């Protein structure tokens, strides 16, 4: 009888390159909140899981604010009377994630939040600190913005449960449901450009000082247990 060997799990390009992206330090990170607007909560562009994603994004936003991190709100600006009309309620940010005074707001008219905007001026130098990305739509503006940020050299963590998308027709005419499309979009950007993490993982991660302290304790524990670290 021939034994069937399990196929190895595929590896991302980041893993193959030996690169790991740590969970962010909220105090030094910049949250880039993309298109969390009312347009996606009702009407023809309503997204599957949009309300849950907004709730997750609100929790993330509150945690970044409490830690003293930087926040940049990105909004798509459409034509007056049309989709994403910024002068109407449909184009406004969802109440739970609305900007506070002093927080940067960047309006875009293209898919990538970098194209034709001053977003880069509100971000740290590439590699200096982590960008945390959340928002809508996963396969579209989130993916495009993350890819551009990665090409610019930024370190990125995407809060996957603070993102959402909608079902679309596939190339064979069969509908690709929102969950499948969203998972594929996230897998695509995580291959090369970012780490994926839940909001829970991000907001409960120990800060760098705690991690260093725990590492020292772990290293010293065997010595202390045997008395090797004493001065006797």
The catalytic residue positions are 35, 108, 141
How many CB atoms lie under 10 A from the CB of residue 116?
11
**What is the distance between the alpha carbons of residues 88 and 84, in angstroms, rounded to a whole number?**
8
Cα 11–Cα 197–Cα 61 angle in degrees, nearest 5? 155
Which residue bears the tokens 């875009």?
108
**What is the distance between the alpha carbons of residues 34 and 207, in angstroms, rounded to a whole number?**
25
**What is the distance between the alpha carbons of residues 99 and 90, in angstroms, rounded to a whole number?**
16
How many CB atoms lie under 10 A from the CB of residue 21?
16
How many CB atoms lie under 10 A from the CB of residue 191?
15
Q: In sequence order, which residues have a C-beta less than 8 Å from that of residue 18 and are 6 or more positions away?
A: none
Q: What is the DSSP-derived secondary structure letter of residue 139?
A: I
Axis crossing angle, helix 178-192 with helix 143-151, rounded to the nearest 10: 0
């Amino acid at each position: 009888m021939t034994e069937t060997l399990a196929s190895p799990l595929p590896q991302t390009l980041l893993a193959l390159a030996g690169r790991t992206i740590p969970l962010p330090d909220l105090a030094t990170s910049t949250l880039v909140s993309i298109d969390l607007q009312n347009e996606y909560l009702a009407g023809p562009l309503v997204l599957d899981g949009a309300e849950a994603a907004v709730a997750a994004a609100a929790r993330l936003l509150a945690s970044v604010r409490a830690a003293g991190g930087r926040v940049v709100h990105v909004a798509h600006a459409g034509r007056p009377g049309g989709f994403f009309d910024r002068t109407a309620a449909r184009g406004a940010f969802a109440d739970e994630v609305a900007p506070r005074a002093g927080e940067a707001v960047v309006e875009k008219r293209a898919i990538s939040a970098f194209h034709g905007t001053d977003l880069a001026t509100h971000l740290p130098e590439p590699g200096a600190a982590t960008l945390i990305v959340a928002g809508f739509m996963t396969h579209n503006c989130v993916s495009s913005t993350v890819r551009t940020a990665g090409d610019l050299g930024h370190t990125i963590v995407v809060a996957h449960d603070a993102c959402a998308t909608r079902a679309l027709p596939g190339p064979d005419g069969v509908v690709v449901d929102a969950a499948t499309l969203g998972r594929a979009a996230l897998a695509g950007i995580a291959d090369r450009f970012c780490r994926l993490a839940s909001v829970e993982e991000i907001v409960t991660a120990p800060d760098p000082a705690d991690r260093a302290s725990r590492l020292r304790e772990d290293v010293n524990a065997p010595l202390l247990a045997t008395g090797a670290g004493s001065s006797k």
